[in-house]
Amino acid sequence: MDPVPPLPDQPRITNATLSDVARAAGVSAITVSRALNQPHLVRPGTLAKIQAAVRETGYAKNRAPAEHGTDRSKLVALILPTVANPIFADMVQAASDKLTDAGYQLLLGLASYEVWREEILVETVLSRRPDGIILTGTLHSDNTRRRLQSISIPIVETWDLTPFPIDMLVGFSHEEVGNTVAARMLTKGYRRFAILTADDPRASRRHLGLQAALGRQGIEVVATDVVPTPASLQLGREGCARLLARHPDIELVICSSDTLAQGAMTEAVSRGLRIPDDLAILGFGDLNFAAHTYPPLSSVRVDGSLIGALAAHAIVERLTGVPPAKRMPAVTDTGFQLIERGST
Amino acid sequence: MDPVPPLPDQPRITNATLSDVARAAGVSAITVSRALNQPHLVRPGTLAKIQAAVRETGYAKNRAPAEHGTDRSKLVALILPTVANPIFADMVQAASDKLTDAGYQLLLGLASYEVWREEILVETVLSRRPDGIILTGTLHSDNTRRRLQSISIPIVETWDLTPFPIDMLVGFSHEEVGNTVAARMLTKGYRRFAILTADDPRASRRHLGLQAALGRQGIEVVATDVVPTPASLQLGREGCARLLARHPDIELVICSSDTLAQGAMTEAVSRGLRIPDDLAILGFGDLNFAAHTYPPLSSVRVDGSLIGALAAHAIVERLTGVPPAKRMPAVTDTGFQLIERGST
DNA sequence: CTGTTAGCGCGTTCAA
DNA sequence: TTGAACGCGCTAACAG
């Protein structure tokens, strides 16, 4: 079907307005507006005339005056660090689907894990008067918090929990992840822990939780290696190599993402280490590939799609006037799950 | 730093307008507008007064009236099939960076490889009068083409080449990929080819190109297996299993993505097949992980970041009035590269 | 079911 | 360097 020659039809009248359509249809502008937005309020005959006139004039809807007049933009902003991390890509996909279904469009802002970027993005985004905002994390600049608290649209913070959300919250406790991992790995007999983490605030929280939990058992993390975001297999290999160089006797490397973990495994295997006997490795995210590495990767499963869908859902519920009693709670713990597959 | 208690400051006056700020600063609204958008046209003293008034009133910019009045939205729409495929995620990231730098915001639409969804998305997106549009592929509905041809904003089609672009084009030839792969694999001595492909129009084009090139040598593809999008490792395994069940003697499986290829490799290895001697496998995309599979995956490298950056760049150049002579060409071939690593 | 009136709050254009 | 007048095109509110 492709390539295709240029279509014969010539450009229609661009920028036809409602009045143009109205004139062509022999009705008033407001009737055209109704025909387009609330067709059930218009008599079928009139509707047909108007539809013909729309085609004839090549009319394309124009939301700018509508937004100006009504202050409803049908826009929802999603602000996240990056879309290169598959857990965020999943979130975007799920949020986009839900929002599109509900008649909203997605304004995307990527903040690269930097609070100051987020601040700028929020300010820019607010200039479009979005009907709702989805943020990543609960760590924002004071300006951002103040600005967001002063407005009355639904806001969802995601991927985290906090006692002081700006508005709504969909996520899980990163400290709790650390606790759970510590408890389980101690049970399995590991004592010499290393951390391989990307430079990401939520990952740090998980590892602080881990260290605290280990500390309560009198155990210290032997070594920590921090790599820049976004993580890659290469960074995982290199990080693992540094850890092993400094501390050849570590038993377990806990990684802040599956990608780092897979890179670390590659390094370990290439050195002839047996996994998990010589070196155990734990990932985070539990991405699709975790079940398909050699050996299959143990990982903490979190669900980006779920977070995206729930966040979008929370916003749409508010906007469509679902009564508070029937809405999802303002704080939703999406949970996580430690999955063991053979690398620990 | 987190959790954080609620900030003490109370909500400022929401929806303060330029006039409110003007009153507080003792100037006219238009001067405030200038102070915000073209500060160099305002005397420093006045500027300072206005900045104070902005803080005092909690003024937040409002683009709606501006858009209504001027028909420039500072919005660029990016329409693609999905963001779950990392090559598209790379593209989004790169495009977003470029556009943000140039002062534009990103409106994201996901069309799931379906032309009718794209048609709806384009129509919806046009209602916001974006300053530019980036599309994926060159295959659109007649309505979409007609609509887009009738408007005068910069439009870039991506990930493909065609003699009849709507406006600008950034991509590579999928038929050419097929040709190149065929030529090289024939040279290496493979004769019994199988195809494992996701249900995606550009992938199909590549495989048609492959089949045509093989046909010219009197060789037929032994078997084809089509899986739904989005691809996954699991689908790759299953597809490979089906191919081997039907035709145990195939020598080479050419996959429409690295993900499928890796899944296929997993299946082959689990059956005790040696790669590439018993079965060779070729991927597409050359994602980061391709170099880190066992054996490392041969793949056709394409660069999503490059495509995203060039597409955004082309739009910005037009919008910022770079003279045609200094602009990038309307059609840019981003090329591809066959990388052999050990799986072929 | 359809029409009339009025106003949303900016930026553009021109004048001072 | 600053200001005044105007209009962008739609929809809310009310009337018929």
What would the pLDDT profile of B75-102 be if each residue is shown by its tens digit?
999 999 999 999 999 999 999 999 999 9
Task: Sort out which chain A residues have CB atoms less than 8 A from B147's CB and list them.
Answer: 60
The separation, in Å, between residue B72 CA and nucleotide D4 C1' comes to 24
- At B104 the three-state DSSP class reads coil
Claim to verify: residue B260 and residue B295 sit in the same structural domain:
yes
What is the C-alpha R_g of chain B?
26
Longest pairwise C-alpha distance within chain A: 85
pLDDT band at B328 (very low <50, low <70, confident <90, very high): very high
pLDDT over threshold 70, residue A18? yes
Claim to verify: residue B211 and residue B139 sit in the same structural domain:
no
- Does A120 reside within a domain? yes
Claim to verify: residue B210 and residue B287 sit in the same structural domain:
yes
- Does B7 reside within a domain? no
Contacts of A306 (CB under 8 A, 6+ apart): A94, A334
Claim to verify: residue A154 and residue A214 sit in the same structural domain:
no
pLDDT over threshold 70, residue A7? no
Contact B132, B106 (CB under 8 A): no
pLDDT band at A2 (very low <50, low <70, confident <90, very high): very low
Average pLDDT over residues A191-203: 96
- Does B341 reside within a domain? no
* pLDDT on residue B3: 39
Measure the CA–CA gap between B328 and B310, rounded to whole angstroms.
9
Q: Is the CB of A62 under 7 A from strand D?
A: yes
Give the nearest partner residue to A106 out of B67, B108, B145, using CB atoms. B108
The separation, in Å, between residue A41 CA and nucleotide C2 C1' comes to 10
Task: Sort out which chain B residues have CB atoms less than 8 A from A58's CB and list them.
Answer: 150
- Does B111 reside within a domain? yes
Dihedral of CA atoms B302, B303, B307, B309 in degrees, nearest 10, equals -170
Contact A236, A177 (CB under 8 A): no
The Cα of B263 is separated from the nearest Cα of chain A by a number of Å equal to 8
- At B76 the three-state DSSP class reads strand
The 3 state secondary structure assigned to A241-303 is HHHHHHCCCCCEEEECCHHHHHHHHHHHHHCCCCCCCCCEEEEEECCHHHHHCCCCCEEEECC
Q: Which residues pair with B333 in a beta bridge?
A: B171
Claim to verify: residue B138 and residue B236 sit in the same structural domain:
no
The count of other CB atoms within 10 Å of the CB of residue B239 is 26
Q: Which of A74-78, A149-153, B239-243 has the lowest mean pLDDT?
A: A149-153
Measure the CA–CA gap between B134 and B157, rounded to whole angstroms.
6
CB-based burial label for A175 (10 Å; 0-12, 13-18, 19+): middle
The Cα of B133 is separated from the nearest Cα of chain A by a number of Å equal to 14
* pLDDT on residue A15: 78
Task: Sort out which chain B residues have CB atoms less than 8 A from A67's CB and list them.
Answer: 64, 67-68
* pLDDT on residue A293: 84
Claim to verify: residue B37 and residue B137 sit in the same structural domain:
no
Nearest CA in chain B to A61: B127
Which tokens sit at B315? 């739009």
Query: The domain containing residue A46 runs over which residues?
Result: 12-59
The separation, in Å, between residue A72 CA and nucleotide C16 C1' comes to 39
Contacts of A292 (CB under 8 A, 6+ apart): B233, B237, B262, B263, B266
pLDDT over threshold 50, residue B198? yes
Question: Domains in chain A: how many in total?
Answer: 3
Residue closest to sugar C1' of D7 by CA: B69
Contact call for B149 and A6, based on CB within 8 A: yes
pLDDT band at A177 (very low <50, low <70, confident <90, very high): very high
- Does A342 reside within a domain? no
- Does A232 reside within a domain? yes
Q: For chain A, give the percent of residues with pLDDT over 70.
A: 96
Q: Is the CB of A28 under 7 A from strand D?
A: no
Contact call for B83 and A83, based on CB within 8 A: yes
Claim to verify: residue B193 and residue B145 sit in the same structural domain:
no
Q: Which of A1-10, A75-84, B258-267 has the lowest mean pLDDT?
A: A1-10
Q: Is the CB of A51 under 7 A from strand C?
A: no
Claim to verify: residue A157 and residue A187 sit in the same structural domain:
no
Claim to verify: residue A224 and residue A141 sit in the same structural domain:
no
Rama region for B26: left / alpha / beta (φ>0; ψ in -120 to 50; rest): left
The count of other CB atoms within 10 Å of the CB of residue B285 is 27
Q: Is the CB of A74 under 7 A from strand D?
A: no
Measure the CA–CA gap between B342 and B290, rounded to whole angstroms.
11
Give the CATH number of the domain where residue B55 resides: 1.10.260.40
Which residue would you say has higher pLDDT here, A226 or B6? A226
Measure the CA–CA gap between B240 and B235, rounded to whole angstroms.
8
Q: Is the CB of B73 under 7 A from strand D?
A: no
pLDDT over threshold 50, residue B4? no
Q: How far does Cα A225 stand from its chain's mean position?
A: 26
Contacts of B139 (CB under 8 A, 6+ apart): A1, A2, A4, B115, B201
* pLDDT on residue A102: 96
Average pLDDT over residues B212-235: 95
pLDDT band at B10 (very low <50, low <70, confident <90, very high): very low
pLDDT over threshold 80, residue B12? no
Contact call for B12 and A150, based on CB within 8 A: yes
Claim to verify: residue B130 and residue B156 sit in the same structural domain:
yes
Rama region for B66: left / alpha / beta (φ>0; ψ in -120 to 50; rest): alpha
Please give the interface size between A and B, counted as residue pairs whose CB atoms are below 8 Å apart: 191
- Does A6 reside within a domain? no
The separation, in Å, between residue B121 CA and nucleotide C4 C1' comes to 34
Its pTM stands at: 0.93
pLDDT band at A14 (very low <50, low <70, confident <90, very high): low
pLDDT band at B294 (very low <50, low <70, confident <90, very high): confident
The separation, in Å, between residue A30 CA and nucleotide D14 C1' comes to 13
Contact call for A89 and B93, based on CB within 8 A: no
- At A80 the three-state DSSP class reads strand
* pLDDT on residue B14: 59
Q: For chain B, give the percent of residues with pLDDT over 70.
A: 96
The count of other CB atoms within 10 Å of the CB of residue A13 is 13
pLDDT over threshold 60, residue A251? yes
- Does B179 reside within a domain? yes
Q: Is the CB of B37 under 7 A from strand C?
A: yes
pLDDT over threshold 80, residue A126? yes
pLDDT over threshold 60, residue A4? no
Give the helix ranges, DSSP H, for chain B: 18-25, 29-37, 44-57, 63-70, 86-101, 115-126, 142-149, 174-187, 201-216, 233-246, 258-270, 304-319
Q: Is the CB of A124 under 7 A from strand D?
A: no
Q: Which residues pair with B88 in a beta bridge?
A: none
Give the CATH number of the domain where residue A264 resides: 3.40.50.2300
List protein-proximal bases of chain D (any atom < 7 A from a CB). 1-5, 7-13
Claim to verify: residue B167 and residue B179 sit in the same structural domain:
no
The separation, in Å, between residue B52 CA and nucleotide C6 C1' comes to 34
Average pLDDT over residues A25-52: 92
Claim to verify: residue A37 and residue A91 sit in the same structural domain:
no
Contact call for A106 and B105, based on CB within 8 A: no
